Chains A and B, each alone.
Chain A
């Protein structure tokens, strides 16, 4: 499913001329690849992301899936409950606060994420359930895989700002910034080392 999502993102990239691919490798201080880091590229000639979809975060086995989801501003995310128990999904994140009170099995509720940024999503009944929706305002955003690599394709050439975000990244707003020059054609790679703190609570590993 995760792979499918990644493929979906790739297919979104416009196949235009004067665009290159940007590969970002994210590792922690120990050199271990960091998964689920969101790499966001802001080229000078930016473009608004388009809402595609559907965006779904499933609750199954008392776990949110996926753990990290990238959505464009204004996207609607569905929260289907596949568990037999009830969940009380909420987020206190500024601009994206919501609360889906005690909905039962196979019930699906959706939430529109209006504010760019990270929305931490939890379940008030099950403390160890956690998920993060990264609301982005750029079409060039990809999350790293288990190898810590994210490839952003079709980025317009030229200088671009890069932001790397991760829910546990030890930095203000859990993200670090960098710049990169994207070639008009071809690929460029960059590595980013980040400090990852232990998760505050036990939940699904990453």
Chain B
């Protein structure tokens, strides 16, 4: 409700004014009420005084009339002689003449003449009142109040009393009311043995009046008092009236409703109210206008700040020269500053600091508008070496120079630096490969940096820009670049098939871990045949995974993946435990074979894992050979060599696997403390046909033997190859010609057969 300053100011002023007006109105009302009340009170008191005079006047008149009658000689004679008829007629005569309500004679003997309905009680009461000296006052006859006076009848001794009385009825009260300047209401309340009553009034009114009179009489005050009635607050005055005799009290009650007294002031109160309302309207209008003049610029500032936050460019009009105007100017200065900084930051964010070329973020933005075209990622080959040779600064210069060249030949390509050695640009998909090759040729011109000539070779990957592809185009082009390098091509488009699906790779790993426990992963063993001893002396363990859905999963696929994802440890633990267990079984069957296990190059440097394996092998007393590729040692040579020593010390033989397929560095061969050298099957398969291979194998065997290594030939598939190897002095042969990789039970059968024959198997086993 009070969210806006304008409303708050308006409400505040209006509330303050309203409060002030309320206080004024209350004060006026209070003063008026007090004045009206005072007026009514005075009027009531005056009314009471008037009534007193009226009462006296009437009393005197009655008294005079009674005295005249009491002294009438004939009347006295009639009274003295108890001439009832005469007395009654005289009284009746006077009643008619003077307009009296009641006129009667009470004799000294208590006899009452001229009062209709007077019984013994009433007569006695009257006599007692009169004998007690009652002269005037309120006389109650049959519960009706009368103003009564008495006059003794003397002849000259008292014969009795003449009593004249006027009923205090509504008409009598009305005549009294007419004498007042305000329309007050008069009534008479009387008290008998039952308490106060007000005859002649309605029941409710009478009871209320009687209760009021009783309270006022108890309070013994002659001041007007408050009386609450159904018509509202009333001011009333109870004035005790003199009783004619006896105990019966009576009172005159004058009443005047306060609302009537306030009547004349209503116009005044209404005027105050209307003036207050008009003033309130003006205050609300005025404060609204004032507040608006303040809040309008503030609102504009608020709005501008919001728009500035949303990134809009905002300029405020400084309409005034006051604080708000200065604030608007400051705001404008601030907005300009923010815009400047934002521009600078944006530029920095989209620029590669080393080369000044657009960066990857800028390139991605540009690509978003190039849907349907292709992206090319150019990589500088052997950048590591180049950087080591030239230093970081010059290496970056190489990248910048190539970018500059590309921009020069193809300004619209949108060249950008994606990483240290990679640049990207956009080109049309049609004939992109050929175009890229042309571009690369132009870029590979030798560079001259700091006076030195630098040769660079570049490779490029291509990928079409499709926003619905799961892998972004830049990544696909980068992968294509890797694929091109792997395949030795200059330019290659992205090969999705070769790359596979990373999502399925991850699930394959999780399935592999399951397979290690559910039995779908198993070990097969390919026997190794000793050409010297002419018997089976070992076997190489190979993992076989029969996937329940995919079928047989090639080891190349999941082993390499396990190496990349780190799951190779689990796989190797599984293999080691199984080999140890299987060797127990073979020993039990009477076959003492050294079992070989392919140890991933990534694990050779892992000391903790090596210790774990060594402990297991020792505990089991297993006779094992770990086959490792020589490349395994390249990554962390020192740690690998130490670990190999640890393994050999535990009786584990070390075999250099796939010798001849990789770098086959003689230096490594010298350093590696191996027991065995396994010549890659690529050389053995064509051994019989190629004299070059035969020479290489022969010299390798000789080299190994001279280094104290045994030699194993892999891929022995023919009798001829086996014969050749035997003549060359090769120690062990492994291959289909001897046996395929067999499950353990089949291996046991095969060993049994071959040991019985005691000769080299001449045929492939099933």
Contact = CB atoms under 8 A, between A and B. Distances in A.
B152 interface: yes
A127 interface: yes
Given A92-B76, A92-B77, A201 B152 contact: yes
A2 to B, nearest CB: 20
A154 B382 CA distance: 189
Contacts of B157: 120, 130, 132, 167, 200
Contacts of B73: 90, 124
A139 interface: no
B153 to A, nearest CB: 9
Scoring B77, B80, B152, B155 by chain A CB atoms within 10 A of each residue's CB, the highest score goes to B155
Given A124-B73, A127-B71, A200 B80 contact: no
A129 interface: yes
Nearest to A170: B131
A78 interface: no
A122 interface: yes
B310 to A, nearest CB: 115
Contact of A130 (B71, B76, B152, B156): B156
B155 A120 contact: yes
A105 interface: no
B81 interface: yes
Interface string B145-161: 00000001011111100
A33 to B, nearest CB: 22
A124 B80 CA distance: 14
Interface in B51-71: 71
Interface string A78-98: 000000000000101100000
Interface string B459-500: 000000000000000000000000000000000000000000
Interface string B64-103: 0000000101001100110000000000000000000000
A201 B71 CA distance: 12
A121 interface: yes
A114 interface: no
B154 A92 contact: no
A203 interface: yes
A130 B71 CA distance: 14
A114 to B, nearest CB: 17
Interface string A182-206: 0000000000000000001101000
Among A124, A167, A203, the one with the most B-chain Cβ atoms within 10 Å of its Cβ is A124
B154 A122 contact: yes
- B interface, size bucket: 10 to 19
| Main SS class of interface, B | mixed
B703 to A, nearest CB: 177
B580 to A, nearest CB: 153
Contacts of A92: 76-77, 80-81, 155, 159
Contacts of A203: 156
A74 B157 CA distance: 23
B432 to A, nearest CB: 154
A86 to B, nearest CB: 15
Contacts of B154: 122, 127, 130, 200-201
Contacts of B81: 92
B155 A122 contact: yes
Contacts of B76: 92
Contacts of B77: 92
Contacts of B156: 120-123, 127-130, 200-201, 203
Main secondary structure of the interface of A (DSSP, over half): loop
Interface string B5-20: 0000000000000000
A16 to B, nearest CB: 38
B273 to A, nearest CB: 68
Interface in A53-86: none
Nearest to B78: A92
A152 B678 CA distance: 193
Interface in B336-385: none
Contacts of B159: 92
A122 B152 CA distance: 15
Contacts of B152: 200-201
A203 B152 CA distance: 15
Contacts of A90: 73, 155
A27 B716 CA distance: 182
Nearest to A88: B73
A88 to B, nearest CB: 8
Nearest to A172: B109
Nearest to B159: A92
A75 to B, nearest CB: 21
Contacts of A132: 157
A167 B154 CA distance: 13
Nearest to A132: B157
Contacts of A201: 152, 154, 156, 158
B729 to A, nearest CB: 182
A6 B414 CA distance: 172
Interface string B620-657: 00000000000000000000000000000000000000
Contacts of A127: 71, 154, 156
A129 B71 CA distance: 13
A38 to B, nearest CB: 15
B74 to A, nearest CB: 10
Contacts of A200: 152, 154, 156-158
Contacts of B158: 200-201
Interface in B223-251: none
A202 to B, nearest CB: 10
The CB with the most chain A CB atoms within 10 A, among B73, B77, B156, is that of: B156
A84 B159 CA distance: 30
A145 B17 CA distance: 95
Interface in A84-119: 90, 92-93
Nearest to A122: B156
A139 B252 CA distance: 61
Interface string A153-174: 0000000000000010000000
A193 B364 CA distance: 147
Nearest to A131: B156
Contacts of A121: 156
B620 to A, nearest CB: 153
B576 to A, nearest CB: 151
B80 to A, nearest CB: 3
Which of B73, B77, B154, B157 counts the most chain A CB atoms within 10 A?
A: B157
Nearest to B73: A124
A127 B159 CA distance: 14
B109 to A, nearest CB: 9
Contacts of A123: 156
A200 B158 CA distance: 6
A68 to B, nearest CB: 12
Given A121-B156, A132-B157, A200-B152, 11 more contacts: A92-B81, A92-B159, A120-B156, A122-B155, A122-B156, A124-B73, A130-B156, A130-B157, A167-B157, A201-B152, A201-B156
Closest 6 CB pairs of A and B: A92-B80, A122-B156, A200-B158, A130-B156, A120-B157, A201-B154
28 contacts: A90-B155, A92-B76, A92-B77, A92-B80, A92-B81, A92-B159, A93-B80, A120-B155, A120-B156, A120-B157, A121-B156, A122-B154, A123-B156, A127-B71, A127-B156, A128-B156, A130-B154, A132-B157, A167-B157, A200-B152, A200-B154, A200-B156, A200-B157, A200-B158, A201-B152, A201-B154, A201-B158, A203-B156
Interface of A: 90, 92-93, 120-124, 127-130, 132, 167, 200-201, 203
